[in-house]
Structure 1
Amino acid sequence: MSATQTVVSQVMQARKSVRKYKEGITIPQEQLQTLLQQAITAPSSSNMQPWRFIVITDQEVKKELRPIANNQEQVETSSAIIAILGDMKMYQRAQEIYDANAEQGLMTREVADAMIKNSHALYGNLPEEVIKNIVHFDAGLVSMQIMLLAKEMGYDTVPMGGFDKAKFAEKFNLPKNEVPILLIAIGEAATPAYGSSRLPLEHIVRYI
């Protein structure tokens, strides 16, 4: 690592999308739990934390998931699939979230009560499409943290948006308020990932 490169920068540069995994590698549940516990420090709109997760390690279930995920090989060969879901009714947990903030001394009881009231008033009256955009955005934030943390732990990942979300919801009996957003395969790479170029900054950045 160069003197100017931080640990975070090193992990970011090292993380690549991997689609070929060593089969039969088990990631301990405790490690997956630690990974998710750290990942959910991601920011979210009004701290509503709309992400929900299904962690799939059972080989038979992964095999059944594969055709739902456009027959992508890594669904079956990776150690686990982390399904990222978005809770369209996330504001219904505002009481739980802001009560904890008050109890931990992160805000006063008065501020917490106001935030609970405002969250229900705001999110409870937003159009479904707006809520969906919010939960997708927040899911992206937590997903990136999952992938970077996984790399730091020595595992590789690949995000997959290409799957039949209606069939996934049916297969896993999702409640109506939960929408599937992304699948993340995690495991040990069987072959090195391909590198990929990026557009020059001068083509994508404007300074004003």
Structure 2
Amino acid sequence: METREVIESRKSVHDYADEPLDDDTIESIFEATRYTPSGYNLQPWEFLLVREEGNRERLQECAGGQEHVTDAPAAVVVLGNLDPAAHAERTFDDWVEKGYLPNDDARDDLVETIEEWRDWPEEERRVWTTRSTALAAMTLMYAAWDEGVATCPMEGFDREALIEEFDLEGYEPVMVLTMGYPAEGADAIEGDRKLRRPVEEILHKESFDAE
């Protein structure tokens, strides 16, 4: 699809066809997802793909029993690393190699700065990682729909239960996505687009007026 078509036609889907997602399609979706931008290109995201029935049932328990978690052939837990410096050295080595930084001293200064972020309170690190990781979740949804694969983002899950159940300590569960081919005649795909606020209501030029 063309980019505009992907954006305007993607909808959240709860009704999935009884058709598995093959490895090549999944690899293609995540190959596109990895090009998501992030602060300092630190790429704090990780993705837990859940396809086995037993694991989807475990995930469903953490998501308030929502049926589409097990109805979909796959689900993805979108995770943000709470360690800002987890990939800093590798990232800034690349910046030096490609001329984005002038020398190793500049690289070392940047690494030191990012390592200091480790001292932030956990709540600040949760906000930091969510900002970039949410971008990756959106890229994933668009990349999936470009392959004809529908998704549904979910906020309705028990964060602590999810961390404990899947051993996710050190990561922020930013989102859960169900993923699969939409069922034939699925309302979300075939029905009219749900309300979207108009541009003149959401765009504020030069100053902000909340009314």
TM over 0.5: yes
Map residues 43-82 of structure 1 onto 2, 5 A cutoff.
43-82=37-76
1:207 aligned partner: 205
**What amino acid maps onto 2:24 in structure 1?**
E
* TM superposition shift of 1:77: 1.3
Q: Does 1:182 align with 2:180?
A: no
2:113 aligned partner: 118
**What amino acid maps onto 2:205 in structure 1?**
Y
2:194 aligned partner: 196
CA distance in 2, matches of 1:55, 1:136: 19
CA distance in 2, matches of 1:205, 1:43: 23
2:125 aligned partner: 131
2:86 aligned partner: 92
2:209 aligned partner: none
Unpaired runs of 5+ residues, structure 2, are 207-211
Unpaired runs of 5+ residues, structure 1, are 1-5
CA contact (8 A) 2:39 2:132 kept: yes
CA contact (8 A) 1:95 1:116 kept: yes
Where 2:28 maps in the other structure, the secondary structure is: helix
CA distance in 2, matches of 1:119, 1:16: 37
CA distance in 1, matches of 2:123, 2:59: 27
Map residues 136-175 of structure 1 onto 2, 5 A cutoff.
136-175=130-169
CA distance in 2, matches of 1:80, 1:33: 13
Change (3 A) 1:126 1:186: same
Q: Return 42-51 or 144-153, whichever deviates more.
A: 42-51
Structure-2-length-normalised TM-score: 0.87
Where 1:84 maps in the other structure, the secondary structure is: strand
CA distance in 2, matches of 1:107, 1:36: 28
Where 1:92 maps in the other structure, the secondary structure is: coil
Structure-1-length-normalised TM-score: 0.88
Where 2:120 maps in the other structure, the secondary structure is: coil
1:3 aligned partner: none
Instruction: State the Cα deviation string for residues 128-148 of structure 1 (Å, max 9, x = none).
Output: 222111111112100110000
Superposed CA RMSD in Å reads 1.8
Could you tell me the percent identity over the aligned residues? 25
Where 2:46 maps in the other structure, the secondary structure is: strand
* TM superposition shift of 1:89: 0.6
Instruction: State the Cα deviation string for residues 96-135 of structure 1 (Å, max 9, x = none).
Output: 22223334555444343332222113x1232322211111
When the two structures are aligned, how many residues end up with a matched partner?
200
CA distance in 2, matches of 1:138, 1:48: 9
* TM superposition shift of 1:170: 0.9
